[in-house]
């Protein structure tokens, strides 16, 4: 897999115009022209840049890996350094929007270097992009217009600080708009929670937890065809609980049922639920229920 350490090397591979700044590029469509398109296809690659793109496909169809995606409406996509990228069918595509790319070193030592790590949407998949309303799209484009002005201006000691400030504002608005998207998609969030529980049920019923241990959130998310971060953020917004908390609640509820079987030891209950160490299970159970597994069994044992 090819890896690009600099923005210039990455853009040269993409066959895009050379950046005016060694660590920053701003590409925007105009009223009469479309957004420059990269090379038609690419096998998996990685790079050391952040990317923020608004895509509105006017003509053509884009495939990211094996996934077809509808970009006919304004969709914001966020990509973090070292994420694996691949695409197909980029030839003969006409699209409006913008693409901001900056090397991770561009924000090194700034407040944005710390803040950007809190934005989970940089870990979302393409099919979890932010869908903007016309009003939101106009606001984002106004911020990008300010960034573009500074990008094309003669650089001075204020330029970078101004661009960093504008990027920070863009990301804060994106965070707000994602919250709106989660709220407006409560049914999707409910479906995600139902699917999450279904995956756990299948793993438990098939004995895979006992054989392979507790599943990771990433394993479950892959089975659900969503990214780990999107699943966590969506469930957190809808239910107030993280995916880890939902996993723990499921395991504790299953433990309660198994504990009522007097023929199983506490250790066997722990192993059935994928815990490698029974004492960890006992500690988690007591933390959640206020009593130990043995105390729970004694309290609710069948008479």
Domain with 291, as residue range(s), is 187-300
Q: Return the pLDDT at 35.
A: 86
**How far is CA 108 from each of CA 9, 79, 112, 113, rounded to the nearest angstrom?**
20, 17, 8, 6
pLDDT in tens, 232-261: 888 887 778 888 998 998 899 889 888 888
CATH number of residue 202's parent domain: 1.10.10.60
Of the candidate ranges 104-113, 175-184, 262-271, the one whose mean pLDDT is the lowest = 175-184
Q: What is the rounded distance in angstroms from the CA atom of residue 185 to the CA atom of residue 216?
A: 25
* Mean pLDDT to the nearest integer, 128-148: 92
Q: Is the pLDDT of residue 263 over 50?
A: yes
* Mean pLDDT to the nearest integer, 150-179: 93
Domain boundary among 184, 201, 222: 184
Give the per-residue SS3 of 22-71: CCEEEEECCCCCCCCCCCCCEEEEEECEEEEEEEEEEECCEEECCEEECC
Domain boundary among 184, 201, 231: 184
pLDDT category at 60 given cuts 50, 70, 90 is low
Domain boundary among 141, 160, 184: 184
Give every CB contact of residue 131 below 8 A, 6+ residues apart in sequence. 73, 74, 75, 181
- In this structure, the dihedral spanned by the alpha carbons of residues 138, 139, 145 and 148, taken in order and rounded to 10 degrees, is -120
Residues 259 and 232 placed together within one structural domain of the fold: yes
Residues 204 and 161 placed together within one structural domain of the fold: no
Q: Is 292 helix (H, G, I), strand (E, B) or coil?
A: coil
Give every CB contact of residue 12 below 8 A, 6+ residues apart in sequence. 18
Q: How many domains does the chain have?
A: 2
């Amino acid at each position: 897999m090819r890896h690009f350490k600099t923005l210039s090397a990455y853009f040269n591979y993409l066959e895009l115009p050379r950046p005016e700044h060694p660590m920053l590029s701003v590409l925007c469509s105009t009223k009469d022209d479309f957004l420059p398109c990269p090379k038609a296809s690419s096998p998996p690659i990685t790079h050391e840049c952040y990317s923020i793109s608004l895509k509105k496909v006017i003509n053509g169809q884009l495939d990211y890996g094996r996934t077809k995606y509808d970009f006919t409406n304004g969709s914001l996509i966020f990509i973090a350094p070292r994420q694996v990228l691949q695409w197909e069918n980029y030839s003969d595509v006409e699209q409006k929007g913008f693409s901001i790319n900056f090397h991770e070193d561009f924000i090194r030592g700034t407040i944005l270097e710390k803040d950007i790590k809190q934005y989970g949407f940089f870990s979302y998949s393409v099919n979890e992009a932010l869908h903007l309303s016309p009003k939101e799209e106009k606001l984002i484009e106004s911020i990008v217009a300010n960034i573009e002005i500074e990008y094309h201006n003669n650089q001075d000691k204020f330029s970078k600080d101004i661009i960093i400030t504008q990027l920070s504002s863009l990301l804060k608005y994106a965070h707000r708009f994602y919250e709106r998207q989660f709220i407006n998609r409560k049914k999707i969030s409910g479906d995600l929670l139902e699917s999450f529980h279904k995956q756990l049920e299948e793993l438990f019923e098939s004995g895979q937890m006992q054989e392979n241990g507790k599943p990771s959130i990433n394993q479950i998310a892959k089975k659900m065809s969503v990214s780990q971060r999107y699943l966590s953020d969506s469930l957190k917004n809808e239910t107030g609980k993280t995916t880890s908390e939902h996993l723990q609640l499921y395991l504790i509820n299953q433990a309660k049922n198994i504990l009522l079987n007097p023929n199983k030891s506490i250790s066997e209950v722990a192993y059935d639920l994928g815990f490698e160490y029974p004492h960890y299970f006992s500690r988690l159970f007591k933390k959640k229920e206020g009593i130990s597994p043995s105390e729970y069994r004694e309290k609710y044992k069948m008479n």
